[in-house]
Chain A
């Protein structure tokens, strides 16, 4: 197995227009022998507002934060003006995109992308 990063951040190819500008969420990417685990900080995004898409070798993470505030409240100090997150990754071909699993816990997305069977280390037992 080579030692290159299997998940690479894609350079902004199609820059979003200001109207749909989004925050780039910070991520942790951990690679082990059997695959990649990706964590993304998406505070305020409920499970149903999270969109994950894999198109060929491109993984797109998109989420919309929900502010959950009654309408009569007036913002006297607001830092969150863009309640959208978006980040795009290019996946290496050794990952099996059919077997991706995702879970969301307190605003942190955990994605597990296993490596395809042929890219995983195999132990061959000697018989006889």
Chain B
């Protein structure tokens, strides 16, 4: 084996480690979202649920979020299953997109017990920093299969920003 091969192998290993860290960081920052009890629909009391991890005061849920961009627009995708379209409140403020909403808890009509209660209910808020200025009055939002998608046209056309930093 030539030294170059070894070096190449090492650098690609390093890339994948760095990439892994990047992904881990990106994947956790912001994704963890707190759900507080909402105004609509009371959650069952702790004693009514067998799930030992259930805590009615507040729950945390990972809401996956993606931000995509091309020269003309930004597309934000947030996974919030089980919402009613009307219960979203979406705003653009300065350079952030604020998505708030309430996922209503609808209790069962029959008598019984919750054995597991892991899904998050209540009101939540997610703030997504936008990498470019947008025309907020032309923004469009849709909600399909439990995924909210907000499309924001850029104020000034620009290629996705990439900053290369040389390492001495």
Q: Are A77 and B115 in contact (CB under 8 A)?
A: no
> Which residues of A have CB within 8 Å of B145?
43-46, 66, 106-107
> Which residues of A have CB within 8 Å of B83?
106
> Which residues of B have CB within 8 Å of A41?
81-82, 119, 146
Please classify the interface of chain A as helix (H, G, I), strand (E, B), loop, or mixed, using the class held by over half of its residues: loop
> Which residues of B have CB within 8 Å of A105?
82
Stretch at the interface among B1-9, B10-18, B66-74, B133-141: B66-74
Binary CB contact string for chain B from 104 to 145 against chain A (1 if under 8 A, 0 otherwise): 000010111111111110000000000100000000000111
Q: How many A-B residue pairs have CB under 8 A?
A: 131
B interface residue count range (under 10 / 10 to 19 / 20 to 34 / 35 or more): 35 or more
Which B residues are closer than 8 A to A by beta carbons? 23, 26-27, 30-31, 50, 61, 64-70, 75, 77, 79-83, 108, 110-120, 131, 143-147, 149, 160
Which A residues are closer than 8 A to B by beta carbons? 5-7, 9, 26-34, 37, 39, 41-46, 65-69, 72-81, 105-108
Starting from the known contacts A5-B116, A32-B113, A44-B79, 7 additional A-B residue pairs (CB-CB under 8 Å) come to A43-B147, A73-B75, A75-B66, A76-B67, A77-B65, A107-B81, A107-B145
